Chain A
């Protein structure tokens, strides 16, 4: 390009407000005498208008709830606990479970991913929560027996959090094969039949990490944590905040 013609860079820079005043003046002077470039500039400018006309309307559309609920909202049902936990949630290991499905029992022990016992909790939830006739081995009507039996099998005194106060009643529980021995699953459901399961295993690792952790596999969300030698995982197909609310209540029940 000769000096007397507008360069590509100048033309686009002019359009996008990237030029200094003297550079703008140069482009304007040259374009005034160059019908072809003036036409092109007009078409480029028109392109920008067409794009904005086509897509700016998205700004006024209501944002779907699924997007608003990704971030822990500041205004919505915001409690101190939720916000504190959100900080922990920021450290979570999303996606770790998806890999489990692919790799089966050869799941890698990735430090960033959810531990294998949390995977087991998720799978146990997926297997038993839809069960209509035999969701549990021992029903809530024999709660004392359930606790005594599972405590004996796990070799640790178990307690079952009472979540009736926040809308989840105990269905019962069952014994499960864990990664290193017996594990227990307690099932709850709300008035609509939405089920949550609390998975309990004895924690052989001397982990000092007691924070809530979060993982997700498809629709199943899991909060898991370590409490006095026990690993606990609460699984459900409900939104993260609601699950956290229940997990918090369960924690408080076990640590009055």
Chain B
């Protein structure tokens, strides 16, 4: 995508700067030189440990989560041709969190490190598949979003039921943490289990970019252009399921990144739903790293959870986007 090279290069640089800034923050104060030394393992050993074991994994976790959610949101918006579609709004995140929490509730997560990511991804894929089937039956995007709201509410209700039956305060706290969403205390190993799924998901979504552009003309015209609609739906649904599920395995539920980031990027790529994917991913990563820096700078009594802050900013933005919606031709 040569056309968007300057934009993507700029966002990529911003990502590196943001991750570096995130490495400066923490309970031990490190100078810029210390961070450089830690990163390149040329400085003091404890600096290397702090950077590579604590700060860098946290910054990476934030970036990867933001990238996965933002690109999933952008792709779902392109497929459903509605700027309000997003993993959180469509119930994909809720279902994924529910599946992850179930695994925690039954104590299965201790058996293997792969079980939690697998459960989160299974939940996300289940929700996207449900939406995919619904999309085949109904032509109305509004109906589809309402189905997503239904999936979200039902998963939320089951979550409450699980919390209700939590055997002890510790497991309750464990499960609640999932629903709040955070990237604190993640190790590179935690990331390594989810990363392959996320990368596979993002790859599938990028492969769907051309088709998303064509869908601007509507499904009938896009099919006339030579797009295989079924193939396109499967690419986006599986791609968004893998990426969202993988991100939730890392960070729990973090809402609205998938809706705000594409909204900001859209005018920069000429409103093209295919070109928007990569810039959205990069910007989503930057956004979450920046938000994670912000919650650590804010002098609050207890450290704020990333998901809480995302929702506090994101929900009003969602309403604002809904009111602003340009190109209002869709049913």
A and B bind: no
